[in-house]
Amino acid sequence: IAALADRAGPPGGGDRPAALVLAGLPGAGQAEFSTWEAELDARTTCPVHRGTLTEDPEVAHGSFAAPVPDDLLDAARAGTSALPHLILAGDRDPLTDQDATALLADKLPRARFGVVHGAHHDVLDDQQHRTVAAEIVTFLESLRAGLAPLLTVETSAW
């Protein structure tokens, strides 16, 4: 999606997004899972999401290990988009290359990279989904404010 967003037309155009939320960017290479349980473990610890993935006949077991084509990864990691980006990754995600993701966030002119503690690959549907949703809402609200922070923590004991 990131690789295609800038091709969708001029900024503010009807088909072009105003910003991007990217979660669990894939790393290079192919992941291998010996069982469906191992594949689920890489994705999420949320029992509801695990149940949904397991019970949905449209979810192909083993498809999660399919590699992303190199040309698509290269385009996504080029870091040339001027769109604001919120990039999220779980710190227990075995599929996301954290260093490459941080490098992408550094290259982009308007990006925020958040690491979700205790989360696996599906950060939007892991146990911390409410925290992730709050971060996305904060990002969307800041877009309306010209990407200005809406809250600054002045002091904290934690």
Predicted model pTM: 0.86
Q: What are phi and psi of 88, to 5 degrees?
A: -125, 145
DSSP 3-state percent helix, strand, coil across the chain (nearest 5): 40, 10, 50
Contact 32, 108 (CB under 8 A): no
Please state which of the four CATH numbers 3.30.70.1230, 3.40.50.1820, 3.30.710.10, 3.90.180.10 is assigned to the domain occupying 2-144.
Answer: 3.40.50.1820
Contact 20, 84 (CB under 8 A): yes
d(CA 156, CA 158): 5
pLDDT digits (tens, 9 = 90+) for 119-150: 999 999 999 999 999 999 999 999 999 998 89
Q: How many angstroms from the chain centroid is the CA of residue 55?
A: 24
pLDDT digits (tens, 9 = 90+) for 29-43: 667 888 999 999 999
